[in-house]
Each structure stands twice: as C-alpha cells, then as structure tokens.
Amino acid sequence: MNISDNLIKIKAEIPAGVKLVAVSKTKPVEDILEAYNAGHKIFGENKAQELHAKQPQLPQDIEWHFIGHLQTNKVKFIIPFVSLIHSIDRMKLLREVNKQAEKVNRVVDCLLQFHIASEETKFGLNINEAVEILSSEEYKKMENIRICGVMGMATNTTDESVVRSEFSNLKNIKEQLKEKFFGNSDYFCEISMGMSGDYKIAIEEGSTIVRIGSAIFGAR
C-alpha cells in the first residue's frame, strides 16, 4: 500500500477525538507531501536539525510536532514554528524553551514526557520529578510555555498486558497532575501515547494523540 492509502486506513480507525501525528522522521519531503496531498496536516519529527531543514521546503500550514529527545542547544531551531513539543523531560529544557519562545514572542505548547516503560533507554520524568518542576517558583513565572498534558512510550513488547498497564499508568499520572496543578485549566487535557505497534491499545486506554510513523510511511 502507498502512503495515502495507509493514512486513509488509519484515519478511519481512529476516533474523532484522537489526533493523529504522522511521524515523518528520516523520510524525504516528497513522502510528507504525499500525505499532505491526501489531506493530512499534522506531522512529527524527532531531530531538531532535520525538522529545521524540512520545514521551509513544505507547505506553511503544516502543524509540526516535536517528539524526540531535545538538546537545549537545538531548541532555537524549532521554536519559531513548532506547534507542540511532546518531549519535555527536564527543567533545564523547559527553561530553554521558555527563553527562546520569549525571544520570538510566542507561547509554546509542551507536554511532559514520562518514563513509563521498563526499558532503561527511554527518556522521561517520574511523577516526583514532575511535581518538583510544577511546584517550583521558577516554573510559575514562565510566561512563554504552556503545559498541555503528558507523553510516554510503552515497552517494546508483544505482551499486550504490559503495554496496556503502562498506558493506564500514564493516564493516571495525567489525572493526578490535573488535580494537583491544573484543576481550572481546560488546556491540560492531552495524553500523547500510541505508535504503529500499539496505538489501538493506547486509544482504548485514553490516548488523545497518537504518533504513527512506519504504519503510514513504511519501515525506516
């Protein structure tokens, strides 16, 4: 199947309230254009320089999401146009996003990334670290970022029950933070979870944003 067929098939499976981020990392701009021409406008990349290089070559109404580990010295490349940064995993990064966003007079939407998988290699906060950030005076003074929810990646395993419980845990974290810090903030509502191999489970567990790459664009 080609990119547009894959996209149409996946879109038909996703409920109306769930946003699809088409993950185009490593793929050429021609492939992104094919998906765009099939009617899709939300794309995700995981490397700042790659996104910085592709963005000017593509239609300006694309909504770009940043989904990968972000080094502080690369933040400036994406801040002028990025729609949502899914991968805030430390205070230092949030501080730099706020600083660069202030320079271009933007408020940039962000998600806190949580470590929910059993693998050691995946980045992310635990609940205590998130509470520490959100309780700090420094965070409360940041005017150029807005935290809209949480993101996480499940363990790469065929054991569905493991994946399901990790997603359920992420939803639980989101609800705890909502109650403690965002009670009156309707914008704190997003749960970014689910990739090509596990998005159906993620949606059953309450995902509001799925990030799907290889099932749309083919293997990398």
Ligand X SMILES: *Cc1c(COP(=O)(O)O)cnc(C)c1O
* Nearest distance in Å: CB 180, ligand X: 26
Does the protein bind ligand X through residue 46 (CB under 6 A)?
Answer: yes
CA trace torsion 72, 64, 213, 199 (10° rounding):
100
Q: Are 118 and 147 in contact (CB under 8 A)?
A: no
CA atoms within 13 A on the CB side of 19: 16
Nearer to ligand X, 46 or 142 (CB): 46
Identify the DSSP state of 58.
S
- Give me the least distance between CB of 205 and ligand X, in Å please: 16
Q: Using alpha carbons, select from 159, 176, 164, 160 the residue that is nearest to residue 112.
A: 176
Q: Are 59 and 36 in contact (CB under 8 A)?
A: yes
Applying CB under 6 A, among 22, 51, 193, 195 the residue interacting with ligand X is 195
Asked if 211 interacts with ligand X (CB under 6 A), we say yes
Q: How far is the CB of 89 from ligand X (least distance, A)?
A: 11
Identity of the residue, 86 or 171, whose beta carbon is nearer to ligand X in the bound complex:
86
Q: Binding string to ligand X for residues 122 to 161, with x set by CB under 6 A, is what?
A: -------------------------------x--------
